Structure 1
């Protein structure tokens, strides 16, 4: 790969960009499809950017288990190949728990899965219709999910493999918003999105309360980019969906999606 490619991306993204090149070359050289684990939206964007315009000799496809999926598996393949849904090897799981006596949340489920020792790339989106909770995983990990995930916090649960047609319709709480910011710094985006002071945003970041693309970032001046996903503990999530341009004062006009954390019962 031309080394000039790397100057357009963050230094820490270089290993993933090199992996993209390896996947592509492997698909072409071995003339067969290559399947990745689940990739986040930023990684999917990097694939699109690095590979660029496709030709008839090589293509890639992606799927995450349902139409609105954030995290997806990607197939790199020669041009002859036409993937079927089963080729992505994605398994739907439902979490069975005592509905009348317990309450689950996205954060609790995510924390349990990660703390089980499994890599984040082995499972995709976690979804709910407001009552039932499901997630998508790498099919080869089905036994692990079923046998190892028996508690979420103090709640006894069972993980049950399900057919894709049983996927719930997710309750979509994402809100599309516009935002004008003075810079693409992490502390600026956090402060302006959640209407808190820059100093408080800086404190949250330095206290390891903020993640970018599911990785804790402790530098307030970290520069954000297109399709980055932020998670701010006790506040919610933010995705940078589009950079619409700059104002006359050189401020950035952004299109973002927000998933704000609802206050607990009894709190304002």
Structure 2
């Protein structure tokens, strides 16, 4: 098992996922030794993918994910030893923060910023679903009392905070748009430009500013290769899936089908 652990850590060494890899592989090792089931905090999609790699590499483990509702982006993982016979309880609750929507326009960034300013670690926070006059925040159940007592303002606006029901969260409905395009090459800047509707030079600038991610990791180089199935996301622009690579055109360009999510 030590060899598998070291191999996983070497694989992620030097990437922005290095710290998460060490934490998750040690967490999984503890589960194997205890032969029980343990919950992680809320994980990003990249960390969820990493969790699957770790479970497969170490063996003796099953892993399930849940974020409180169907389609949740941030989810908790239940690492369970293969001998564990129970059903994991994901211990997820909903905090509802309400404000007067006639006088304040608050969004996801305002809500998250106010929560983090309280000193709460990101792993205790799942998805945040903000509407005109309220936000529903998926949280680790043990944090409910803390939030109802301390989350009294968001972006300088007073809010009323209560514990809500998971049943009041609807499955995420995303708007999508298919984009048929041809690009000079399957580079990150070319695909981002075609999918997000900007010039290639603008895409290069956004990549340099670390605003674009590939499969939930920051794109470090505009020339980074993209393949079918990859997902690009950009701050403020949503995300983009490379649904299909259709081969070269007569002019030597590459045809692609992109699916953009808003």
Same structural fold, with TM-score higher than 0.5 when normalized by the shorter chain:
yes
Match among 118, 125, 137 for residue 116 of structure 1 = 118
Query: Are 2:31 and 1:27 aligned?
Result: yes
Distance of 1:227 and 1:40 partners within structure 2: 16
Instruction: Give the total of aligned pairs.
Output: 251
Superposition TM-score, scaled by structure 2 size = 0.76
Superposition TM-score, scaled by structure 1 size = 0.75
Distance of 2:216 and 2:158 partners within structure 1: 26
Deviation at 1:157, TM superposition (A): 1.0
Deviation at 1:123, TM superposition (A): 0.5
Match among 228, 233, 240 for residue 230 of structure 1 = 233
Partner secondary structure for residue 145 of structure 1: helix
Per-residue CA shift, 1:99-139, capped at 9, x if unaligned? 33323222322333334332322211112466542110112
Query: Are 2:92 and 1:62 aligned?
Result: no
Note if contact 1:179-1:255 (Cα within 8 Å) is conserved in structure 2. Answer: yes
Partner secondary structure for residue 52 of structure 1: helix
Note if contact 1:95-1:160 (Cα within 8 Å) is conserved in structure 2. Answer: yes
CA RMSD between the two structures? 3.5
Evaluate the alpha carbon distance shift between residue 184 and residue 256 of structure 1 in structure 2; reply closer, same or farther with a 3 A threshold: farther
Distance of 1:81 and 1:26 partners within structure 2: 18
- Tell me the equivalent position of 1:38: 42
Match among 145, 148, 151 for residue 150 of structure 2 = 148
Structure 2 unaligned spans of 5+: none
Distance of 1:213 and 1:112 partners within structure 2: 27
Deviation at 1:27, TM superposition (A): 1.1
Q: 1:126-145 maps to which residues of 2 (within 5 A)?
A: 126-128=128-130, 132-145=134-147
Distance of 2:217 and 2:199 partners within structure 1: 23
- Tell me the equivalent position of 2:175: 174
Evaluate the alpha carbon distance shift between residue 15 and residue 5 of structure 1 in structure 2; reply closer, same or farther with a 3 A threshold: same
Partner secondary structure for residue 28 of structure 2: helix
- Tell me the equivalent position of 2:105: 103
Note if contact 1:91-1:139 (Cα within 8 Å) is conserved in structure 2. Answer: yes
